[in-house]
Amino acid sequence: MSVPPNSNAPADPGEDEFAGIRSSRARHPALALGAAALALFIIAHVRADISYSLSSSEPLDLGNARALLAAPDAIEHGANRLVRISGTPDRESALELDTKGSWVFTQFFRILGTGNRLFVHRRENPLPAFKAERDVFEGRLIRFRDLSFEAAIRGYSASHVSATHFFAPDELSRALGAVAPGAALALRDLAGDTVTLGPSDLLAVDLARPDQVRIGFPRDKFRDEAAARAEIGKRGGVVISSSESAAPAPGGRPTTPVGLGGGSNAGAVERVVLVVRFPAERQDAALHEIGDLDPKVEIRDARQTFKVRLADLAAGADGALVIKTPEAAGAPARLPLASIPAIRTLASVQIPDDAWLLIENDRPRDHFHTVIFGAVLAMFAFVNLINFVASVRGGARRGRSPQGPPQGSPQRSPQ
């Protein structure tokens, strides 16, 4: 006799009462593996900051920058460390950086004598007086190629930033005599940096005029050129030429760029400048008298500047620079080396592949948060790797289990 469906007969003890409940879908093992991989990738990306935060807080003194960069691989042991380096900054070609939307300005400049291989990012604003008075820089030293924005800085520097390079006249003459006419020239400037000059690069050659003097009369006392000329005439001088000079820009820097000249002066005219010649026996006494007229009177050696291209220069056999086309430069054909106080040019600042950057006032304790961040990510990756391994092993066990009900379990006959 069959048992009615609604009877209260006890359930079969071999039957699982939860067999009909569907289990929730487990997370795919690939998701756990992907989360762990992402966490490990982020840790690898900030590993330099983690290493720097755990390094010594005492700065490693690397000495003078010029000597440091001259020795092969001497700077390598300071990589990603807090270091102290001394050197002369190139303030002429320095950049002032600002973050968009803020009024916080920082400085970026190169160190002279390092071949453009060492730059400093000075972040403090305003800068303490004791740091402004000494050329010693303390901060984190990193390779330039490790910067995320290195391509932008290199491109901007090569196209918009230029520096003035001064050369010794005898060095230029020897270099010109050692190369073929019209060839490029690699020349070391007075700061120790090597500059490559092409045939069309422009050079400014200063020629001293020992028999002439350049005198600047302040405008607040000498209102016009006639008054200044009158003082020269009283002392037996002869005016060779006259011009005007502009007031310095804020901060004491001239508004005219230091280099080949040119550009516009934004400041008001403050001096009448006369190039004069005195009789040799009267020159010293006349200059003393003119200097006593006003403390702002400026007396300098007279120089004449000629702008010529490298291809138009040649080395003379008698210790002179020869200008091949003097009519184009408005200069004499031969310039004695002894009468040349300076030769200079403007060249773009190229950042080489092996350049370094010192981030001033960046200390290990400033990056301690990356250690905590890395530890959290490492725990997250570890947990996900454990879940991945457990999921893979659980799937393998389910794959090996037999299909159907276990052996020895009671079978219910069909109704």
Percent of the chain with pLDDT over 90: 44
pLDDT at 8: 58
Q: What is the pLDDT of residues 203-227, one digit of tens each?
A: 999 989 888 999 999 988 888 889 8
CB 312 within 8 A of CB 201: no
Average pLDDT of 261-278? 68
Average pLDDT, the chain: 83
Average pLDDT of 73-90? 93
Average pLDDT of 12-34? 67
CB 85 within 8 A of CB 68: yes
What's the rounded Cα separation, in Å, for the pair 356 and 143? 5
Concatenate the DSSP letters of all residues of 135-193 into one string: -EEEEEEEEGGG-TTHHHHHHHHHHH-EEEEEE-HHHHHHHHHHS-TT--EEEE-TTS-
Q: What is the pLDDT of residues 345-385, one digit of tens each?
A: 999 999 999 999 999 999 999 999 999 999 999 999 999 99
Say yes or no to pLDDT of 261 above 50: no
CB 36 within 8 A of CB 381: yes
Concatenate the DSSP letters of all residues of 229-266 into one string: HHHHHHTT-EEEEEEEEEPPPTTS--SS-SSS--S---
Shortest CA distance to 208 belongs to which of 284, 301, 275? 301
82 contacts: CB under 8 Å, gap ≥ 6? 55, 56, 57, 58, 59, 60, 138, 139, 140, 363, 364
pLDDT at 165: 93
Is residue 18 very low, low, confident or very high in pLDDT (cuts 50, 70, 90)? low
Average pLDDT of 384-410? 70
Is residue 249 very low, low, confident or very high in pLDDT (cuts 50, 70, 90)? very low
Is residue 202 very low, low, confident or very high in pLDDT (cuts 50, 70, 90)? very high
Q: What is the pLDDT of residues 90-107, one digit of tens each?
A: 988 898 888 766 677 889
What's the rounded Cα separation, in Å, for the pair 164 and 345? 6
Say yes or no to pLDDT of 7 above 90: no
Say yes or no to pLDDT of 80 above 60: yes
Say yes or no to pLDDT of 17 above 70: no
Of 72-76, 189-193, 329-333, the least confident: 329-333
Say yes or no to pLDDT of 139 above 50: yes
Of 127-131, 231-235, 325-329, 410-414, the least confident: 410-414
pLDDT at 251: 45
Say yes or no to pLDDT of 53 above 50: yes
Say yes or no to pLDDT of 22 above 80: no
In the chain the domains, ranked by start, together with CATH numbers, are: 29-49+370-397 (no CATH), 60-162+353-367 (2.40.50), 164-348 (no CATH)
Say yes or no to pLDDT of 324 above 90: no
Quote the pTM value.
0.72
